[in-house]
Structures are given as C-alpha cells and as structure tokens.
Structure 1
Amino acid sequence: MRTTIGYTVESIGYVIAAQGLVGFASQTFFGTEWGWLHKLVDLPPAAHLAVLAAGLALVAAGVRTRKTPRHRQAA
C-alpha cells in the first residue's frame, strides 16, 4: 500500500511542480499565461514559485514514502 501511495503523491507532486514552473516562466519571461493554474486563480510570479516548492515537497514525500522499508513483525 505504501508503494501505491508513494507513487500517487509523487505523481501529483510532479504535476503541481510543473504548473508552478510553467506559470512562473511564462509570466516572468514571456508575459503570457501558460498551464492550467491561471484558469483557476490569478497568481503573481512569486506565488508560482511557492506552488513549485509545494510540488517538489510532494515529490520528496512520495519518494520517501516509497523507499521506507517495511517493518516486519516478529512471529
């Protein structure tokens, strides 16, 4: 079960991080809006960096959960 949860959290983290990165890059370098996030909320570039950080935190949590060894109970 931990493996499934780890992969799921990690996958969601990648999507969130990508939206933060694309939103930041599009506003900062091109002056346009890319991605899906701008359709939900209007964020400044600094907030997109916070979304990127949150996504990377989810990725790290998913990897850590996935790599946690299972504890065996003594029989």
Structure 2
Amino acid sequence: MRTTIGYTVESIGYVVGAQGLVSFASQTFFGTEWGWMHKVVDLPSTAYLGVVAVGLTLVACGVKTRKTPQRHKVA
C-alpha cells in the first residue's frame, strides 16, 4: 500500500511542479498564460515558484514513502 501511495503522491508532485514551472516561465518571459494552472487560480508570476516548491515537496514525500522499509512483525 505504501508503494502505491508513494507513486501517487510523487506523480501528483510532478504534475503540480511542472505546471507551476510552465506558468512561471510563460508569465515571466512571454507575458502569456500556458498550461491549466491559470484556469484554476490567478496568481502573480512569483507565486508560481511556490507552486513549484509544493510540487518538489510532494515528489520528495512520495519517494520517501515509497522507499520506507516495511517492518514485519515476528510472532
């Protein structure tokens, strides 16, 4: 179960981080809106860096959860 949860959290983190990075780059360098993040929330371009940080945190938590060794009880 931990493996499944770890992969799920990690996958969500990749999507959130990528969308934050795309939104930041599009607003900062091109003055347009790319991706779907701007349809959900309207943030200033620097706030999208926080979204990238949240995505990276989710990836790290997912990897940690996935790699946590399972303890077996000895009866």
Considering the TM-score relative to the shorter chain, is it more than 0.5? yes
Stretches (4+) displaced over 4 A = none
For structure 1, which runs of at least 5 residues remain unmatched after alignment? none
Tell me the matched-pair count. 75
Q: Percent identity?
A: 75
Separation of aligned partners in 1, 2:72 and 2:40:
45
What residue is the counterpart of 2:38 in the other structure?
38
Separation of aligned partners in 2, 1:69 and 1:19:
31
**Are residue 6 (structure 1) and residue 11 (structure 2) matched?**
no
Amino acid at match of 1:69: P
Residues 30-70 of structure 1: CA distance to partner in whole angstroms, max 9, x if unpaired?
A: 11100101012211111100000001000000000000000
What residue is the counterpart of 1:56 in the other structure?
56
Give the deviation of 1:15 after TM superposition.
0.4
For structure 2, which runs of at least 5 residues remain unmatched after alignment? none
SS at match of 1:45: coil
TM-score with structure 1 setting the length: 0.97
